[in-house]
A = this chain, B = another copy of it.
Amino acid sequence: MSTSSATASVQALSLQRLAIHTITTKPWSLREALEHYRSQHVQGISIWVEALKSTPPSTARRWIDDAGMHVPALVRGGFFCDRSSRVRQSRIDENRKLIEIAAEVGAESLVLVVGATPGVELRRQRGWVEEGVQTILADAAQAGLKLAVEPLHPMYAADKSCINRLREARLLCDQLNHPLLGVAIDVYHTWWDPDLHREIELLGKSKRIFGFHLCDWRVPTRHLLTDRALMGDGCVHLKQIRLAVEAAGFTGWNEVEIFSEEHWATDQKSFLNKIVERYAAC
């Protein structure tokens, strides 16, 4: 075995749990993403619905299978909150459609960003979320699909998610108590939480860690939405959190999910190389 192929083999091994969200390399089509990830020995791809815009799920599935890739998650369902019950019902219908699509592309889970409506009490909105998730659980069960509730950072409490800590996501899971309902832990949203390690432990005990998302918190952060950093370029103790998640029994994918105007504007191949390098380091 030559030195370079030995290196490649070690690298492939260390990458065996790495997945990348298509949004991370937003300029690429799904087909480009599959091709480039695979060429870098990345075996997991979490698919944003936006990446399926011009590709039927069945075609996507064929490409994914041909590339020998796995799909930890379809991203993102949810958005259960609205003052109008009619709108809330339509959101539930949309989630049912997403569950079908997730099954078609062979995703292991559907990530739920639960939504928020400015000005409505957050507690009341969490009631809508509970109703919505409960309703679609039957569909998820039929499809054999996991639902992963992802708490978003409190800076998104007004209009994107009324669940802003792992604790509220865990309480929702406890309430509905279904083996296909769990939580996606994203370091970007949760790193600051004084209860982070305790919550990871509690979620681990009830086997509810369904996803683990990686990126970093840039200092200073210049934009609320699209200024996430590459692992190692921010202030988050990634390795410490990863070890905690693993100690809690999580053996699933480590999903890199970076929204960054800065990185989207660069050459995506070099960016992908950096992702792979930095992943190995954390």
Contacts and interface: CB of A to CB of B under 8 A. Distances in A.
Contacts of A261: none
Nearest to A192: B157
A110 to B, nearest CB: 25
Contacts of A154: 153-155, 192-193
A109 interface: no
Interface in A190-224: 191-194, 217, 219-222, 224
A269 interface: no
Interface stretch (A38-46, A72-80, A116-124, A138-146): A116-124
Nearest to A217: B158
Contacts of A217: 158
A222 B165 CA distance: 22
Interface in A215-274: 217, 219-222, 224, 234-235, 237
- Quickly give the copy total for this chain: 2
Interface in A118-162: 118-119, 121-123, 153-155, 157-159
B221 A194 contact: no
Query: Which secondary structure characterizes the binding site on chain A?
Result: loop
A178 interface: no
B153 A220 contact: no
A95 interface: no
A168 B194 contact: yes
A194 B122 contact: yes
Given A164-B192, A167-B194, A194-B165, A155 B221 contact: yes
B235 A118 contact: yes
A62 B235 CA distance: 45
19 contacts: A118-B235, A121-B237, A153-B154, A153-B155, A154-B154, A154-B155, A154-B192, A154-B193, A155-B155, A155-B221, A157-B191, A158-B192, A158-B234, A158-B235, A159-B220, A164-B194, A167-B194, A168-B194, A222-B224
